[in-house]
Every structure is written in structure tokens, then in C-alpha cells.
Amino acid sequence: MTVADSARARHPDWDSLFEVAQGQQGYFTTAQAARAGYSPQLLYKYLRNGTVTRVRRGVYRLVHFPADQEEDLVPLWLWSERVGVFSHQTALALQDLSDALPSRVHMTLPEAWRQRRLKVPEGLVLHYADLDESELRRAAVVPFTAPKRTIADCMAAHLAPDLVRQAVVQARRRGLITREDEDGFLAALAREAGGS
């Protein structure tokens, strides 16, 4: 059964669509709309009358849904079919660790995605790794890497050492990493500085 057939099979259920969108900062996908009974033609009607807006191919947003600080990340997460995890400098910013201000959004996808031919949204940097559940955290909607994983990723990506050091100290101060983690990260930074 296609998406259009699925939407025709049931009557549009605004409450169901709103519930899905509410859990995703007002965003929803074409497939999610179809499960709520909305055909592509009905979505087009809502686009024309201003009820929804198209954010990118297959991703829409309810126009009157209140904005949130993660709002820009949700469409990228939906693009990844909700398997992407925000990482590296983006995860630092989400956790308010260090003064890193990423100019692009970093996302880690499962290794299996490395083989896919993707049209990557502009401004998105992809990394590939199979993350363990213990390495994940979640903000209101989107997942991101836990502090220890985030710092390790930033070190491996050669983020400026002063920003990494700041993240390590802040994470330890807030109890997000252990003393042993802090000592290990600071020792690795010292070794890297000594080898330069």
C-alpha cells in the first residue's frame, strides 16, 4: 500500500496529526501525515491555505506551532528518518559545554548509512558510528551524544584544544563525567599539545 493509498483508506484525523507534530516541535513527515489520513493532495490544500508550511522535501510544519530552541534541528532529524544523533560541536552547544559556536550542524548516523547515496541538507556535516544507548541523551525532542562521547568526538575531530578543555572542565564541574574521564581527557590534550 502506497502513502497515498494509506491516506485514502482512512479519514483525516487532525488530532492524530497534531499529536505527532506536537512531539516533534510542530514538524511532521509526509508518511506521518498519511498515517493520520492526510493524502498528498490534502497536504497541498493545507499548504495553499497557510495551515502548514513545507520545510524540505517530505517534511512539513504546523504554521501556528510555537517555536523552540531546537526548532532548526528537528527537520534535520526527520530527514535522517529519526535515527540521526546530533554530535560533535552541535552536541556541545546543546549541552552548553564550552563556548563552541558551530557554524554547521553535526550529526552521527549509523555505519550502515555510510553506503547510502544521500542528498545531504546544506549546512549538515555527517559522521558515521554505531552508538550505544548509553552514549545518547535527548533534549525535548532530538537525540544528541552524551557528554563523554561528545568530548571524545570533538577531540578526534581536532576541535580547538581550549574549547575541548573548557568542555571537559564544565562537564566535570556539573557531574556529567567522572574524575577519571576528566583526567584521561586532559592527559590526552597534554600529549597532543606536546606532540605538536
pLDDT digits (tens, 9 = 90+) for 166-190: 999 999 999 999 999 999 999 999 9
Per-residue pLDDT at 168: 96
Check whether residue 121 and residue 189 sit in a common domain.
Answer: yes
User: In 3-state terms, what secondary structure has residue 9?
Assistant: helix
Pairing label, strands 124-128, 136-138 = unpaired
Classify residue 68: in a domain, yes or no: no
Per-residue pLDDT at 58: 87
Check whether residue 88 and residue 46 sit in a common domain.
Answer: no
Check whether residue 58 and residue 104 sit in a common domain.
Answer: no
Q: What is the pLDDT of residues 56-105, one digit of tens each?
A: 888 998 888 877 666 789 899 999 999 999 999 999 999 999 888 888 99
CB 69 within 8 A of CB 50: no
* Alpha-carbon gap, residue 87 to 69, rounded angstroms: 16
How many domains would you assign to the chain? 2
Check whether residue 124 and residue 183 sit in a common domain.
Answer: yes
Higher-pLDDT residue of 118, 20: 20
Check whether residue 57 and residue 83 sit in a common domain.
Answer: no
Per-residue pLDDT at 117: 87
- pLDDT exceeds cutoff 50 at 106: yes
Classify residue 37: in a domain, yes or no: yes
Check whether residue 39 and residue 95 sit in a common domain.
Answer: no
Check whether residue 49 and residue 133 sit in a common domain.
Answer: no
Q: Which domain holds residue 35?
A: 3-62
- pLDDT exceeds cutoff 90 at 138: no
Check whether residue 14 and residue 41 sit in a common domain.
Answer: yes
In 3D space, the residue among 152, 147, 136, 191 whose CA is nearest the CA of residue 173 turns out to be: 147
Check whether residue 190 and residue 93 sit in a common domain.
Answer: yes
Average pLDDT over the chain reads: 88
* Alpha-carbon gap, residue 71 to 64, rounded angstroms: 13
Check whether residue 7 and residue 51 sit in a common domain.
Answer: yes
In 3D space, the residue among 69, 70, 133, 123 whose CA is nearest the CA of residue 107 turns out to be: 123
Rounded mean pLDDT, 29-40: 92
Classify residue 67: in a domain, yes or no: no
Check whether residue 89 and residue 138 sit in a common domain.
Answer: yes
Check whether residue 84 and residue 170 sit in a common domain.
Answer: yes
Confidence of residue 53 (pLDDT cuts 50, 70, 90): confident
Rounded mean pLDDT, 97-117: 91
Classify residue 69: in a domain, yes or no: no
* Alpha-carbon gap, residue 98 to 171, rounded angstroms: 9
Higher-pLDDT residue of 55, 80: 80
From the centroid of its chain, how far is CA 24? 11
- pLDDT exceeds cutoff 80 at 139: no
- pLDDT exceeds cutoff 80 at 1: no
Angle between helices 147-156 and 161-173 (to 10 degrees): 170
